[in-house]
Chain A
Amino acid sequence: MLNFWPVYKREVKTYFQSPSTYVVLALFFLIVSLIYQDLMTVFSSLSASAGQQSMFGQTNQAPNVTDFVIRQTFQILTSLVMFTIPMLSMRLVAEEKNRGTFELLVTCPLGDWAILMGKYLALVTVGLVIVILSGVYPLIAWWMGRANGAAPEWPIVVSCWIALLLIFSAYSAFGVMASSFTENQISAGIVTLIGLILWNVLGVFQMEKYPKVREILTEFSAGEHTENFIRGVLMLKDFAFYILASFLFLFIASKTLDARRWRI
């Protein structure tokens, strides 16, 4: 598990040398930026009209930049990550299996965990780049609003962005797992996408007759545990949720790779 470094290094290099990564990232930031630009326009017109109303003595609250821009941007980022991960993760193990290099790797003195960890951490590194780059959005909000003192609440920004990285990691682990199921990249991508969507909608079902079931499902849904982060509250259980989920998926992936040793 500790000698994941060579695999990690190779995967990071592959990510940042491959044009497809840049296409995916460009598409990601294009979509986020378009929506963000729209948000900002609506926000500035809202706050302008709120300002006018308050001049006439009405007590209408001006929209808060953290509520209106930061949190919504965060929601957009997390939902887009769901679509981005499959594109980045699908090749990780499936491609190696398909090319036969998997056989080469596992016959080297290297554990399955080292291979999986290397690949997983490489994808998380891409996630870190995405998280850092998307830090530009709160910065723009701050820069635009600095004249009238409408700065975003930085602690909330930080906690949201921590949540973004945690979500990205958990989704990455899911992607690595799906990729280890098959040697077909496309299937891996589809399984990842469907899986992530299902994981997100777990809490949506009303289940009026079984409130207990609904409660459990909600607790296990991917989005549920961002609620505290959005409010700027860092809770151990939310960290634990995403980290344990990552470990669970990687564990299943390692068992999947191990399954070739079970076949009788």
Chain B
Amino acid sequence: MTDPVGGAPGKVSPAPSAVAPAAPAMIEVDNLTKDFGLTRAVDRLSFTVGEGEILGFLGPNGAGKTTTMRILTCYTPATSGHARVGGFDIVKQSFQVRRILGYLPENAPLYPDMIVRAYLNFMAEVKGYPGRQRRAIVDEVIEECGLQAVVKRIVRNLSKGYRQRLGLAQALLGNPKVLVLDEPTVGLDPKQIAEIRELIRSMAGRRTVILSTHILPEVSMTCQKVIIINNGRIEAQGTPESLISTVGGANVIFATVQGPAGAIQELLRKVDGVTRVHEERAIAADIRAWRLEAAPGKDPRAAIGEAVVKAGHALLELRSSGLSLEDIFLRVISGQSGQREVA
């Protein structure tokens, strides 16, 4: 088994303990490379996903997410490198891999002229489930994806949300061990996004899921493990928390205080652990919102509260806004992270 953190040097590698798969590896990817002519779409990708884990692939468009997924689903071969899904080699045992794998390609391709149930029935048949089992299998995914209301509708007339759910239902047919979902929430409205995310999150522990997205909150909400990929290379990987603690420099705190601006600024600056004080905006004549940055790993909120109240000012609001995954993503992608070169 390869190192769970990935062997490539020059990457952000959080403490191995944070990402060590709790369960045996379901997906092992070793030095996967894919070239399209002169363009390298995927560059020496290595990672593992434990059984029951949900892995989020994060990256800008064209980073190589879809290509990686296509390689893992045996749609297209890698130029070099190996990968195993459920213990089966994706090249030599592609048939066995495809049997334990459910795949939702980008944009959820469907047959527009079919009726929803007939479509699921067809896909179950193609996946090789005999007639007796098929009905139960189809009913199961209809239930799981909440498609009961549309089973008799023609796919063409479904809303985008239902199409996406139907694509997901198709991937879930026969309860596959591994699910590969390419941008499962793209084009959905916020309510539908929340539903799909909830559905995916509910699979944790039961199924191994790889999902790709370029929407950040999605990853922190649904995934236990994140891989940030850019230009075909892994830029960072780990749990959302470990990424924040590794890459995340400053901890940002917002405070709203009533009182004279100059005195307060001076006061805040003196609080232990605060590295920067910045006036965000004036809310009223004597009420100001402050944006404070704290040293990494420190939470000076208690000290701030104490200092402000001791000085006789009114503390109206105090909240920590830890560096979000979004900030990390942008830092990693634009190569600004100072720790990026630390092996």
> Which residues does A use to contact B, with CB under 8 Å?
3, 5-7, 9-10, 14, 17-18, 99-101, 103-110, 260-261, 263-264
Contacts and interface: CB of A to CB of B under 8 A. Distances in A.
Contacts of B74: 107
A103 B182 CA distance: 12
A17 B75 CA distance: 30
Nearest to A115: B126
A107 B99 contact: no
Contacts of B7: none
A18 B113 contact: yes
A168 B95 CA distance: 33
Contacts of B103: 104, 107
Given A100-B105, A103-B109, A109-B99, A7 B126 contact: yes
A104 B170 contact: yes
Contacts of A3: 128
A264 B79 contact: yes
Contacts of B126: 6-7, 105, 108, 110
Contacts of A260: 75-76
B98 A109 contact: yes
Given A104-B103, A107-B98, A110-B128, 9 more contacts: A6-B126, A100-B107, A104-B170, A105-B126, A107-B73, A108-B126, A109-B128, A260-B75, A261-B76
Contact of A100 (B79, B109, B122): B109
B110 interface: yes
Interface of B: 35-36, 70, 73-77, 79, 95, 98-99, 101, 103, 105-107, 109-114, 122-123, 125-128, 170
B259 to A, nearest CB: 61
Contacts of A100: 105-107, 109
A263 B99 contact: no
A234 B119 CA distance: 43
13 contacts: A5-B125, A10-B111, A14-B113, A100-B109, A103-B70, A103-B109, A104-B103, A104-B105, A104-B109, A109-B127, A110-B126, A110-B127, A263-B76
| Most chain B Cβ neighbours within 10 Å, of A14, A99, A107 | A107
A101 B109 contact: yes
A107 B95 contact: no
A99 B110 CA distance: 8
A91 to B, nearest CB: 11
A108 to B, nearest CB: 5
**Secondary structure dominating the interface of A:** helix
A106 B127 contact: no
Contacts of A261: 76-77
Contact of B123 (A5, A14, A106, A108): A108
A6 B109 contact: no
A263 B111 CA distance: 27
A108 B170 CA distance: 11
Contacts of B106: 100
Contacts of A7: 126
Contacts of B36: 263
Contact of B122 (A10, A18, A263): A10
Nearest to B171: A104
Contacts of B77: 261
A264 B80 CA distance: 9
A109 B173 CA distance: 13
A10 B76 CA distance: 25
Contacts of A110: 126-128
B125 A107 contact: no
A5 B310 CA distance: 80
A47 to B, nearest CB: 50
Which 4 pairs, one residue from A and one from B, show the smallest C-beta to C-beta distance?
Answer: A100-B109, A6-B125, A109-B98, A109-B99
A104 B126 CA distance: 10
A108 B109 contact: no
